[in-house]
Amino acid sequence: MKRTHWILIAAAAVVVAIAAVAVHMMMAPPDDLDMARSKLSEQKFYLATVAPEQEPLRQGELHAWVLTLATPDNKPVEGATIAVDGGMPQHGHGLPTSPQMTSYLGEGRYRIEGVKFNMAGWWELKFAISAPPGDDRVTFNLVL
Amino acid sequence: MRAASTRFRLGAFVAVSMLVTGCQPTEFSDAEKQTIASLALSALPPLPDDPTNKVANDPAAAALGATLFFDTRMSANGAVSCSTCHLIDRQFQDDLPLAKGIGTTNRRTMPLAGVAWSPWFFWDGRRDSLWAQALVPMENPVEHGGNRAAFAHFIAANFHDRYERIFGPLPDLSGVPANAGPLGDAAEKAAWDTMTDAQRGDVDRIFSNIGKMIATFERSIAPKETRFDRFAAALAAGKEPQGDAAFSNEEMLGLKLFIGKANCVTCHNGARFTDNHFHNTGVPVVAGLPEDLGRETAVKEVAADPFNCLGKFSDAGPAACGELRFMVTAGEALTRAYKTPSLRGAADRPPYMHAGQIETLEAVLDHYATAPAAPSGTSEVHPVTLSERERGALIAFLRALSG
C-alpha cells in the first residue's frame, strides 16, 4: 500500500511538471490580439488598410498584398516610400522573405510583393511609411 | 482484494494523468486534427511548374535526363554519376556523413524524393532551380570533376539526335577546346579564356540544357505514401484506421508531441515536413572541414549565379523569380542556417544533419532536448524536457514516416 502511494505521488509530480512545460511551449497567440486590417498608424498620420491579393492565406506560398494609405480625413496618399518588415513575436524571428513595395496602383494603393509565412501561428506585418504627412509605422497582426 | 484495489487505483490514476498531460492516445483536438491533415501526403500540392525550364514536362527530356543521371561517363574519371551518391534504392542518398565522388564533399548527400517542390536547393539553398543545381556537382572537383566544354562535346558525340529532338540543332563545337570551363583547373580556365563569347554561350547553353533534362527526370521522384498517411486519411475521414494504418499508443503520443509540446511542426510542416526555409538549429561544426556559414554565404552565391532565375539561361521572366527577388540577403538569422530537411523516410537513412554530424534518431532528440548553443549565429531551438517515454514515442512516430 505504502509503495503504491509513493508511486502515485511521484507520478503526480511528473504530471504537473509535464503539464507546466506543455502550457509554456504551446504558444497560442494572445486572446486580445488586434486583428483589424484597417487602422491608424502609430502617430496617426495615416489610415492604413491591408488586404492579401488572394484569400485564404496559404502557408508557405509567396504572395502579394495591397496596402492602401489615406490621410485620417480619407484622402489617398500618393508617392509614399514603404519598407516592409515583420516576423513571429513568439518565436523571435523575422519574415522568411524580404517583401517590397513594387508598384503604385493609384488611389493610395501600393502593391507589396514577396510575402511568405512559412509557419503556423501569430505573425506581424509591419510597414514603415514615408510620405509628405510624415514618417510613421503601422503593424498588423495575422494568425495562420 | 488489496491487489485488485491497487490495480484499480493505478488504472484510474493512469486515466486521469493521461487527461491532464493531454496524452490520452485516441483523442486529438480539432486543431490537432487540422495540423495532422496538413502533414498528410494528400495535402501535398500538385507538382509545381518550373517556368525557368521549358522542357520541365517533356517526357523525352526526362528520359535523356534519367540516362545522364546514371551515366558514369559524365565525370573526369569515368566512375562517377549523380547516382553514385544519389542511390535509387536508398531514397536517392548514400547513408554516409560526407559524400564520396572523385573526392569527399563537405556536406551530406540529400535524398531527392519531392525535391521538385522545393524553392531552394542544397543544404544552404545556393541554387534556385533544380536545373541550376545539377550543374554544380558536374563541375565540382570532388564530385564529377568535369568541365562544361567536355560535357558539351560528350552530348554532341553520344546523344546528338536525342538532344536535337528536344532542343533543336546543336551548335558547331569544332573550335571548342576538349576541356574548358570558368571553374576548372588552371588549364581549363585558360582554355575557356581563349574561346569567343559565342563559343562560351554555345557551351553554356548545352550545359544548362543538360541540367534541365536531369531536372525534368528528378521532377518524377515523388514522396511515397507511408503508414502515417494512411493513418491521417482514416482520421480525416472519421474512420477507425485499419490494418497497418492503425497507430500504436506510442506512435499516437509521438505524433501528439511532434505537433505540440516538442514544437517540431513549427519547422517540419506541410506534407513534406519542411517549411522550405533555413534555420540555425545549433548543429555542431565538423572538425577539419572548412568554415561553413550555411545560408549566409549561399545568398551571395545564388544572387551571382549566371544560371539563376534572372539569368539569360532561364526560360522565365522576372515575374517567375519571386523567391530570388525577395530573398533575405542579410542578417544574423542567415548564419549557419540550413534548409529544413523532409522527415519522410528519415528514420531509414542515418546519419543526420548537413554534414552527418548526428548518428542516430536518439541523438537527434538529445540535440533538440538540450538545444546546444550554435557554433556561430544563434540557434532557433529552445530546450524542451522530453522523458525517455516521450523520446521513444517521437522516434516511433518518425518511423511511421517510412514505408
Q: What is the pLDDT of residues B31-70, one digit of tens each?
A: 999 999 999 999 999 999 999 999 999 999 999 999 999 9
For residue B329, the chain A residues in CB contact (below 8 A) are: 98
Q: Percent of chain B having pLDDT more than 90?
A: 93
**Cβ distance of B385 and A18 shorter than 8 Å:** yes
Q: Looking at chain A, which residue has its C-alpha nearest residue B17?
A: A15
pLDDT on residue A25: 44
For residue A15, the chain B residues in CB contact (below 8 A) are: 17, 20-21
Which of B326, B327, B328, B382 best probes binding to A when mutated, by most A CB atoms within 10 angstroms? B326
Domain spans of chain B, in order of start: 17-46+224-294+336-399, 59-218
Q: Please tell me whether residue B121 adopts helix, strand or coil conformation.
A: strand
How far B183 CA lies from chain A's nearest CA (Å)? 30
Average pLDDT over residues B156-172: 98
Whole-angstrom distance, CA of residue A1 vs CA of residue B7: 11
**Cβ distance of B385 and A17 shorter than 8 Å:** yes
More confident residue, A5 or B345: B345
For residue A22, the chain B residues in CB contact (below 8 A) are: 21-22, 260-261
Whole-angstrom distance, CA of residue B20 vs CA of residue B29: 14
What are the respective helix, strand and coil percentages of chain B, to the nearest 5? 45, 5, 50
How far B43 CA lies from chain A's nearest CA (Å)? 12
pLDDT of residue B248 exceeding 60: yes
Hey, is the C-beta of A13 within 8 angstroms of any chain B C-beta?
Answer: no
Residues 6 or more apart from B71 whose CB is under 8 A from it?
B81
Residues 6 or more apart from B201 whose CB is under 8 A from it?
none
Q: Looking at chain A, which residue has its C-alpha nearest residue B35?
A: A120
Please count the residue pairs, one from chain A and one from chain B, whose beta carbons lie less than 8 angstroms apart: 93
pLDDT band, residue A17 (cuts 50/70/90): very low
Whole-angstrom distance, CA of residue A18 vs CA of residue B190: 65
A33 within a domain of the structure (yes/no): no
How far B378 CA lies from chain A's nearest CA (Å)? 11
Residue with cell 509614399: A80
Q: What is the pLDDT of residues A36-62, one digit of tens each?
A: 999 999 999 999 999 999 999 999 999
**Cβ distance of B269 and A120 shorter than 8 Å:** yes
Which of A6, A9, A97, A144 best probes binding to B when mutated, by most B CB atoms within 10 angstroms? A97
pLDDT of residue B24 exceeding 60: no
Q: How far is CA B195 from the centre of its chain?
A: 36
- Read off the CATH number of the domain in which A67 is found: 2.60.40.1930
Amino acid, res. A117: F
Could you give phi then psi for residue A122, rounded to 5 degrees? Answer: -90, 125
pTM of whole model > 0.80? yes
Strand A38-40 to strand A93-94: parallel, antiparallel, or no bridges (unpaired)?
unpaired
**Cβ distance of A22 and B22 shorter than 8 Å:** yes
Fold of B17-46+224-294+336-399: Cytochrome Bc1 Complex; Chain D, domain 2 (1.10.760)
**Cβ distance of B270 and A94 shorter than 8 Å:** no
B321 is in an annotated binding site: no
- Mean pLDDT of chain A, nearest integer: 87
- Asked if this assembly's ipTM is beyond 0.95, the reply is no
**Cβ distance of A11 and B21 shorter than 8 Å:** no
Hey, is the C-beta of A15 within 8 angstroms of any chain B C-beta?
Answer: yes
In chain A, the number of structural domains is 1
Could you give phi then psi for residue B36, rounded to 5 degrees? Answer: -60, -45
A129 within a domain of the structure (yes/no): yes
pLDDT of residue B5 exceeding 90: no
- Mean pLDDT of chain B, nearest integer: 94
More confident residue, A17 or B373: B373
Could you give phi then psi for residue A129, rounded to 5 degrees? Answer: -110, 135
**Cβ distance of B326 and A100 shorter than 8 Å:** yes
B153 is in an annotated binding site: no
User: For B27, how many CA atoms within 13 A lie in the half-sphere containing its CB?
Assistant: 9
For residue A93, the chain B residues in CB contact (below 8 A) are: 333, 380
The candidate with the shortest Cα–Cα distance to B14, out of A13, A19, A12, A16, is A12
pLDDT of residue B8 exceeding 50: no
pLDDT on residue B3: 42
Q: Percent of chain A having pLDDT more than 70?
A: 81
Q: What is the pLDDT of residues A79-92, one digit of tens each?
A: 999 999 999 999 88
B85 is in an annotated binding site: yes
Q: Return the CATH number of the domain spanning residue range B59-218.
A: 1.10.760.10
What is the domain range of residue A101? 38-143
For residue B262, the chain A residues in CB contact (below 8 A) are: 25
B23 is in an annotated binding site: no
pLDDT of residue B98 exceeding 60: yes
pLDDT band, residue A28 (cuts 50/70/90): confident
Q: Looking at chain B, which residue has its C-alpha nearest residue A84?
A: B326
**Cβ distance of B261 and A21 shorter than 8 Å:** yes
Average pLDDT over residues B310-339: 97
Amino acid, res. B389: R
